Amino acid sequence: YGSRVINFAAGPAILPANVIKKAQSELYNWRGSGMSIMEMSHRGKEFLSVIQQAEADLRDLLKIPENYEVLFLQGGATTQFSAIPLNLCTSDDTADFIVTGSWGDKAFKEAQKYCKGKVVWTGKAEKYSSIPNQSELNVTVGAKYLHICANETIHGVEYKDYPSTGNDTLLVADMSSNFCSKPVDVSKFGLIYAGAQKNIGPAGVTIVIVRKDLIGKAQPSTPIMMDYKIHSENRSLYNTPPCFAIYMCGLVFGDLLSQGGLEAIERKNVEKAELLYDAIDASEGFYKCPVEKNVRSLMNVPFTMATPEMEAQFIKEASAQGMVQLKGHRSVGGIRASIYNAMPRAGVERLVAHMKAFQARHI
Ligand code: PMP
């Protein structure tokens, strides 16, 4: 790994080493332009080629249908918690929420300010360790949309099949922490959104994929920077976009394509996650993952040990071996290994070896 650590951070997170190196090689003088991406006009032909290629590659990766718009926005996924109801609902409309973790809960709380938000299922009582079956859902007839968090970054629960909604109810998904980690049938969704800083790039850009017929109905009070119509009409260039972040996402999309696209990426992610979950399950309770097996996340793997002191010792020793950012989110404690697309299999193998050695020393 040379001078680089094995970074298990939840986000901002590890990026592919070859992408960082490519960015480094182009940083000083981007493709003969005599300047870096950061110094260019966002309306010049150079940057236009960057954002257009990024969009084309993302469309290719996710097989995004023609009737969907791709927007590169700012404000993080958090801004979408309010932008979505502001764009899709009137203040009298109902939006349903399945709450499978902290992020879904935050999305619900923010949406309530701009529409009638309703929690149709929550996993709070079981500390967010599962995802409901279709039969457990009591969706609201006439709800404008049903919101899910496709992968709860803190709790490590991930949808494997998406819920079906009533006839006119749109499915809306926060895919911040599993975006581009596997193929997705975009046509099932009214809107998909994702902050970049986990799987596809640096913080600063948020992707929104929205069905075109849903654009143009924003509530009158919607701030201009949150109105999808403005951004769609201006091809994400209404104001100065986060140019460098978009450029980096573009490099990552190119890298994912060159690895064989999202089917190939998913296979690698399944293998990595299996290595880690198998190690947890084979530890005879020394390591415990609280999440129901059928919805365990391929991206964020939380686990606990007998005591917080032991966990602290585990994290400290991992860090001494170059494996960093393994501490669980401050709201839940424990350990969390985030193993996004860019985490090499060898990184997970190193963690598993540490788990085995640590356990051997403590029993
Ligand atoms: N949704 C999910 C699933 C997340 O993991 C995060 C960030 N950790 C957010 C939303 C919030 O994203 P941002 O910080 O980009 O606003």
Is the peptide bond preceding residue 12 cis, with omega within 30 degrees of 0? yes
Choice among 57, 105, 174, 227 that is catalytic: 174
Residue 56 lies in a domain: yes
Question: Given this model, what pLDDT does residue 1 score?
Answer: 59
Q: Which of 258, 279, 298 is the last residue of a domain?
A: 258
Cα–Cα dist 251/264, whole Å: 18
Catalytic residue status for 30: no
- Claim to verify: residue 280 and residue 348 sit in the same structural domain: yes
**Do residue 125 and residue 109 come from a single domain?**
yes
Residues 68 and 106 placed together within one structural domain of the fold: yes
pLDDT along the chain (363 residues), means of 10: 90 97 97 97 98 98 98 98 98 97 98 97 97 92 97 98 90 98 98 97 98 98 98 98 98 98 98 98 97 98 97 98 96 96 98 98 89
Closest residue (by CA) to atom 9 of ligand 1? 77
Contact of 148 with 173, CB cutoff 8 Å = yes
Number of domains within the chain: 2
Same domain, 95 and 153: yes
Q: What is the CATH number of the domain that holds 116?
A: 3.40.640.10
For residue 182, tell me if it sits in a domain.
yes
| pLDDT for res 167 | 76
**Does any domain span residue 7?**
no
Catalytic annotation present for 103:
yes
Exposure on the CB side of residue 152, measured as CA atoms within 13 A: 31
Does residue 5 lie in a domain region?
no
Predicted local distance difference test score (pLDDT) of residue 363: 80
What's the pLDDT score for residue 235? 98
- Pick the catalytic residue: 182, 198, 272, 327? 198
Ramachandran sector of residue 194 (left: φ over 0; alpha: ψ -120 to 50; beta: rest) = beta
The reported pLDDT for the residue numbered 224 is 98
Domain boundary pick from 258, 286, 319: 258
**Confidence at residue 11, expressed as pLDDT on a 0 to 100 scale:** 96
- Phi then psi for residue 295, to 5 deg, are -125, 20
Domain that holds residue 331: 261-361
**Which of 74, 78, 131, 197 to mutate to test ligand 1, by most ligand atoms within 8 A of the CB atom?**
78
Q: Report the nearest atom of ligand 1 relative to the CA of 75.
A: 16
Judge if the beta carbon of residue 19 lies within 6 A of ligand 1: no
Give a yes or no: residue 9 inside a domain: no
Ligand 1 pocket member 204 (CB < 6 A): no
Is 13 inside any structural domain?
A: no
C-beta 157 within 6 A of ligand 1: no
